[in-house]
Structure 1
Amino acid sequence: MAGLATPMALRVAVTLGLPDRLLGSGATAGQLAVELDVSPVALGLLLGHLTTLGVVDRTSTGYRTTEFGANLCAGAGNGFTNLLLHLDSAAGRAELAFVELAHSITTGEAAYSRRYGQDFWADLAEHPRLRDSFDRQMTLRLDEQIPQIVANVDWSRFSTIVDVGGGRGTLLAAILTAHPRLRGHLIDLAPTAADARHTFRAHLLGDRAEATAGSFFDPLPSAADAYLLVDILHDWDDEHAHRILARCAEAAHPAGRVLVIEPVGGRRAITEMDLSMLVIHGGRERRIDEFRTLASAHGLALDTVTDLTGQRCLLEFRLATAAPCSSPAPSAKPVQRPPHHQ
């Protein structure tokens, strides 16, 4: 359980592109070493461990990717490549901050900036390739759950939704497609908001969906029926989570709702993700009472909690002066928890 050889071997293999290169007839270690400009002896050691793991087979003509190993190919469609690329992927790079876990446990602060000299978000802003891989991973991790999120929330109660930090807009597009009378406004940083506009155009939603470049630490579009936060608050410590909720509360009209969708500690979160949020962002998977305490500081009262998917809950907040919701979101049907991926 404590060995680092296997996870690092997989990351290096994916970073070097070995699973894709060794499809079909494969290649020898000598051929690969020349192509990749790496040490042939060291590469042989890596290939030996990948053989032990069942990622590659050794044949009379060299090494080739197994059916199991093909799950690590770029075209496998499961997001593993984007997670494991430790040079060009935001997720792969971020997980290497775990070597500084002791710092996070001692201080309660993120380890990312200790390892890389600046926080995760500043790194993304400085390196467009990391921003792109992060946006792609956020889309991948939510895609399989979008049908459940659309089906298990009564979105028809609303006429306008502001998707706060809504990424490339895949969830908002699905919600608007299912509810033709609904209008949506997505807020995210400029490169991501531009991608969201492409998503909306592709779904023929140009007249009902807009994407604005902005930060959720700044004033949000006002008087919408609902402000949607999907996998946002767990990325931040309490100080920043307060600032985000404050912006939602000040923007909402008196009968508006703030909808938080993310893992909830003790309910849909897993302990590994708790540590990931701490190490990378200084955040955590909060428990219901912690959400309630955060929100109450901004005049928000927790109305309902729904187990939405195998990995996420919906927490619906109203302004404390507003009447409780008369038709709360229906409870999600029981589902098995799918394998976790960040």
Structure 2
Amino acid sequence: MEAKNKIFSIIQGFWGSQCLYIATCLGIPNLLEEYGAQSVESLAEKTETHTETLYVVLRGLAHLEILEEKPDRVFAPTEASSLLVTNAGPSIGHFALHITEPCQWDGWKELYDAVHTGEVAFERANGKGVYEFTRDNPWSGDVFINAMSFLTDHATEALMAVYDFGQYETVMDVGGGQGGLIAEIVKTYNCKGMLFDVPYVIETAPSFLESRGVPKDAIALHTGDVFEKVPTGADAIVMKYFLSAWNDEDAGKILARCREALPDHGKIVLLQSIVPDVGEPTVCPDGIMPGLFAVQIRSAVPGGVWRTLKQYQEIFANSGFKLDRVVHTSTNLSAMEFSLA
């Protein structure tokens, strides 16, 4: 029976995630957080939805303990629904929207064929890669940026507790988005900061960094193509979840540009989830399963792959780096420190 229950749970998994998407997209968690418990009729009116259909969705989320259903079809917020609020800064609600939005869902429908052809399922479904899609679609782009900022916030406190960035004079975050991570590094360790990403992402950084209380000139902003040139001036390069978007060949090219940008004493601090080898724990302390998440990355990103520690060591060794140490955190994130070989 235990094995059968496990299979039923997996089968029902996408039902729950789609109910979560619908409620979060409609702003139900926002409404419950702001106004408190409300009847389904009131929520349907505020969201311009069909009352009976909305009720079935919300009841399902109540059974999953995301919402609380009270008598007379009244729904109340919970600790879980409060985490899904999307109108008070980056949250796991944005991450849920990004991972379960229609363009991603369409990609999963193409995975069966992609398994046979090796194509990227997201591209088969949408005609372009996920980064191009989020760049060209304002709603998806905004959700994506906030989702990545949430992941940074989610992991930053745990990272700062175990890894000392104070050993570096200047730290550059390559592919650092709005700058959530480098902001915390600079504020915590009073070092100099650099942020490098593509132009459409960096243009959102100044207001974000200001909202995080970062002095105006504390972080230098740079735009460009990581395959062409990485800015010089840092003695440590941080990359968070960045190499997982690229196949081994492209990852090698990125590391080559990083090597050119670093001084002889420079280091790369790779911040990634590490896919476990056989026999190692499969679930991280925060509940993320890297091996399953790796399927999402493979489905969505050309060459996207979450790797084992041995695979990272090999890629870096081929680019002239050696692994100095691995520091694990209390989330899914681990810090792998590499120096020039």
User: Common fold, TM-score beyond 0.5?
Assistant: yes
Kept in 1: contact 2:103–2:125 (CA 8 A): no
* Residue in 2 that maps onto 1:165: 175
Q: State the shift of 1:165 in Å.
A: 0.8
* Residue in 2 that maps onto 1:313: 334
Provide the secondary structure at the position in 2 that maps to 1:145.
Answer: helix
- Aligned CA RMSD, in angstroms, stands at 3.0
Q: State the shift of 1:48 in Å.
A: 4.9
> Which of 284, 296, 300 is the aligned partner of 1:276?
296
> Which of 196, 201, 213 is the aligned partner of 1:192?
201
Work out whether 1:183 is the aligned partner of 2:204.
Answer: no
* Residue in 1 that maps onto 2:242: 232
* Residue in 1 that maps onto 2:7: none
For structure 1, the residue ranges without an aligned partner over 5 or more in a row are 321-342
Aligned ranges for residues 200-211 of structure 1 at < 5 Å?
Answer: 200-201=209-210, 203-211=213-221
Bigger drift between 278-287 and 47-56 goes to: 47-56
TM-score of the two chains, using structure 1 as the length reference: 0.79
> Which of 313, 321, 325 is the aligned partner of 1:300?
321
Provide the secondary structure at the position in 1 that maps to 2:19.
Answer: helix
Work out whether 1:79 is the aligned partner of 2:99.
Answer: no
Deviations along 1:295-333, one digit per CA (max 9) or x if unpaired, are 22222222222224431222222222xxxxxxxxxxxxx
Kept in 2: contact 1:82–1:92 (CA 8 A): no
Residues 81, 223 of structure 1: CA spacing in aligned structure 2 closer, same or farther, 3 A cutoff?
A: closer
Distance 2:80 2:335 in 1: 36
Aligned ranges for residues 1-342 of structure 1 at < 5 Å?
Answer: 1-3=10-12, 4-21=14-31, 24=36, 26-29=38-41, 36-39=47-50, 42-50=53-61, 52-53=63-64, 55=67, 57=69, 59-60=71-72, 62-67=73-78, 70-71=81-82, 72-74=84-86, 79-85=91-97, 89=98, 92-93=101-102, 95-96=104-105, 97-180=107-190, 182-201=191-210, 203-266=213-276, 270-281=290-301, 282-320=303-341
The letter of the residue matching 2:192 is: R
Residues 279, 207 of structure 1: CA spacing in aligned structure 2 closer, same or farther, 3 A cutoff?
A: same
Query: Which structure dedicates a bigger proportion of its chain to helix?
Result: 2
Deviations along 1:158-199, one digit per CA (max 9) or x if unpaired, are 22222101112122122222333x222110122332333334
* Residue in 1 that maps onto 2:6: none
Kept in 1: contact 2:177–2:205 (CA 8 A): yes
Residues 197, 24 of structure 1: CA spacing in aligned structure 2 closer, same or farther, 3 A cutoff?
A: closer
Distance 1:14 1:162 in 2: 34
For structure 2, the residue ranges without an aligned partner over 5 or more in a row are 1-9
Residues 18, 109 of structure 1: CA spacing in aligned structure 2 closer, same or farther, 3 A cutoff?
A: same
Distance 1:224 1:25 in 2: 51
Q: State the shift of 1:44 in Å.
A: 4.8
Kept in 2: contact 1:185–1:211 (CA 8 A): yes
* Residue in 1 that maps onto 2:4: none
The letter of the residue matching 1:67 is: T
Distance 2:157 2:56 in 1: 44
Distance 2:99 2:198 in 1: 16
Residues 308, 74 of structure 1: CA spacing in aligned structure 2 closer, same or farther, 3 A cutoff?
A: closer
Residues 236, 53 of structure 1: CA spacing in aligned structure 2 closer, same or farther, 3 A cutoff?
A: same
Q: State the shift of 1:108 in Å.
A: 4.0
Q: State the shift of 1:262 in Å.
A: 0.8
Kept in 1: contact 2:68–2:77 (CA 8 A): yes
Distance 2:30 2:157 in 1: 31
Kept in 2: contact 1:108–1:278 (CA 8 A): no
Distance 1:257 1:222 in 2: 13
TM-score of the two chains, using structure 2 as the length reference: 0.79
Distance 2:90 2:146 in 1: 12
Residues 103, 240 of structure 1: CA spacing in aligned structure 2 closer, same or farther, 3 A cutoff?
A: farther
Distance 1:20 1:204 in 2: 28
- How many residues are matched? 314
Identity %: 25
Q: State the shift of 1:75 in Å.
A: 5.6
